Structure 1
């Protein structure tokens, strides 16, 4: 047997991902993580009504974002086929209308669901059970119309909550690339919003959803002629600590750097 084949077939007690993948499979017999069996629709609706749709930050100043989104300068086909991860950014800020469009296209509310079965309006990204476990934070380093600092995005109101001064460049593996980005979107997950219904599998859904959201943001940025790069290289505990997360109930799961394209 080839050494590589032997390595791939070998069980490892240290490979936590193998245990997690097995434990998070959907089966007909596995008991639910929180309930004796899969919760009924009534239980799910009751839990959704108890859980927040988004973190409120009632005591923070609010900044309304424009609903009139700037048009894309290229079509969807070109944005998809021309997508690339930026390796640097050009000089200058990112405009607030562009940030508004990227946030709304990433995770904004797209239509109401008042007469629907479950009490959540729909958003731009698909979500397991329409539970929407993610939160979006904007680290505005050089965004026109915004004081540099940290902001939280409220999808329902399409506005930002101003959270104050912020610096986390040292929390990233590629700190030089972050230092060149005028804007950084930090995607965190409140895991229980998904796990209460789906148990262990809910964690899978959270990560899948983060991918949907960031891809939406990348395409919206490309449509506006901006450079973007999704980033997973960060020191989790350090970044969570800067944001005030405990790293267990809520934690950063993905990041996106935004800025002008480098001059050709």
Structure 2
């Protein structure tokens, strides 16, 4: 929907290119000769100068967007004495520190500027050139529009700038670029003066947020980003997530910044177990485990993702040992870190950034000797299961989702859903916390696979799960705690052929027979209690 017809904005106003330093850049005089030091998030920059032109120009830019000619008028030297060489020298300086310079587009009136192009990485450069009126153009498919600090902000994973819109005219221009068009057509569609639209497009094109197209031999419009092999498989969300959760292509806060210190309290190290019947689990004996476990190399070489199970189902003792070895709380700390940014933490069998241990395990059973089918919460402090209500038969739905995700034709016996209590990480970390949670899931899935292999069980990590169904099944608010990983578990069939089938499909390289040799010599039968059928009453053994 276009704005109501009105006189073209900018018709009688001069368009001006404005310059300023990033708000977080601090200017300091370096010497009486007019040099300066610019302190920034990317380090210090020494700027030399033979007179006050350099320092005074940068000083004016530190106050906000300003026209270069107005900068030159404000320097100690008479404006009439400013030469073309002085202007060229100033422009060369600004080009050399372009990653610290915000380029803005304004109109010569009292309203705010139209837009700012804020550099967000050290490699940021902005070469603004006019766009031919009939050349095809379009908003990049990687451009994302959002609200931030009461401004509309346009950013893209492919751009090292962030566009901030102060006036609606800039957003109107973005609105007509959702499909292939031309500058001439975009201008005709908007109540904005030709030159204003052209300048907005030029700024966005220079930042890579508007992409230019060409006509192919059949006259169709094509855009390079749609056919670039490096970009075809990326979606905007995935590429933006990648660039914003690593350093190098953004200017967001990053790392252990404790962004909500004083505003929110840290979540407890141990989640309060939900209401429900508590079922103590079997606790394995360490000596028996050490005596029975195969060597680490044998476990690594024989680990497989297995989709078929033995006829006899998994039992409570096996599940109890498995959970004890991978997810129990080994110890608690009332406080780690320095005040006031200290928080309670725990130690568990797998590593976790900042000892956050934000992950929780929920167990969905279809068949497990000694336990009733349904949904359970695993309490890592009490090493027990808490049975959850299942009024809508969510367990069956979760198992069906898991079976489809695994490509199985049968119902899995045990589904372990890994959730994350998000605030355990977001209270401490900026920029990286959700990516860190996903890394933790991989760590836990690998730990589960190795322990299961050592126990002669059949593990299968899954690549996806259902956020909504799991939240309903476990009584969670998905915005606070949500499923982010899954694993299936069952008893390994004595005649399992997974390894043989895998070998037959592959071309052997780098000692591919290690797995076969390890299976033949190191992993026989797991003789610990976990491989035995459940004893009467064992499901309530809490010794």
Counterpart in the other structure of 2:400: 170
Is 1:107 the equivalent of 2:332?
no
Deviation at 1:68, TM superposition (A): 2.7
Q: CA distance change for structure 1 residues 81 and 103 in 2, over 3 Å: closer, same or farther?
A: same
Is 1:157 the equivalent of 2:373?
no
* Contact 1:171-1:238 at 8 Å conserved across structures: no
* Contact 1:139-1:149 at 8 Å conserved across structures: yes
Deviation at 1:148, TM superposition (A): 1.2
Question: The residue matched to 2:333 in structure 1 has which SS?
Answer: coil
The structure, 1 or 2, with the larger RCO (C-alpha pairs under 8 Å, 6+ apart) is 1
Stretch deviating more after TM superposition (58-67 or 242-251):
242-251
Superposition map of 1:78-227 within 5 A: 78-114=298-334, 117=337, 118-165=343-390, 166-167=395-396, 168-172=398-402, 173-174=404-405, 177=408, 179-227=410-458
Counterpart in the other structure of 1:67: 283
Q: Distance in 2 between matches of 1:113 and 1:240?
A: 29
Deviation at 1:9, TM superposition (A): 5.1
**Structure index of larger Rg:** 2
Counterpart in the other structure of 1:56: 272
1:69-123 CA-partner distances (Å, limit 9, x unpaired) = 4624433221111101003112122122221222122222223435754521211
Alpha-carbon RMSD across the aligned residues, in angstroms, is 3.2
1:229-250 CA-partner distances (Å, limit 9, x unpaired) = 0012334433434333343332
Structure 2 runs not aligned, ≥5 long: 1-224, 338-342, 496-543
Question: The residue matched to 2:330 in structure 1 has which SS?
Answer: strand
Deviation at 1:204, TM superposition (A): 0.9
Counterpart in the other structure of 2:460: 229
Q: Distance in 1 between matches of 2:407 and 2:238?
A: 30
Question: The residue matched to 1:18 in structure 2 has which SS?
Answer: helix
Q: Distance in 1 between matches of 2:355 and 2:302?
A: 31
1:142-200 CA-partner distances (Å, limit 9, x unpaired) = 22221111111111221211114432223233476384432111111122211121123
* Contact 1:62-1:161 at 8 Å conserved across structures: yes
Q: Distance in 1 between matches of 2:352 and 2:306?
A: 27
Q: Distance in 2 between matches of 1:26 and 1:192?
A: 22
* Contact 2:258-2:430 at 8 Å conserved across structures: no
* Contact 2:278-2:384 at 8 Å conserved across structures: yes
Counterpart in the other structure of 2:237: 16
Counterpart in the other structure of 1:261: 492
Q: Distance in 2 between matches of 1:58 and 1:247?
A: 16
Q: Distance in 2 between matches of 1:213 and 1:249?
A: 20
* Contact 2:273-2:379 at 8 Å conserved across structures: no
- What TM-score, normalized to structure 2? 0.42
* Contact 2:468-2:478 at 8 Å conserved across structures: yes
Alignment size in residue pairs:
254
Structure 1 runs not aligned, ≥5 long: none
Q: Distance in 2 between matches of 1:161 and 1:179?
A: 26
Question: The residue matched to 1:47 in structure 2 has which SS?
Answer: coil
Q: Distance in 1 between matches of 2:438 and 2:322?
A: 19
Q: Distance in 1 between matches of 2:463 and 2:233?
A: 27
Deviation at 1:11, TM superposition (A): 10
- What TM-score, normalized to structure 1? 0.82
Q: Distance in 2 between matches of 1:39 and 1:115?
A: 15
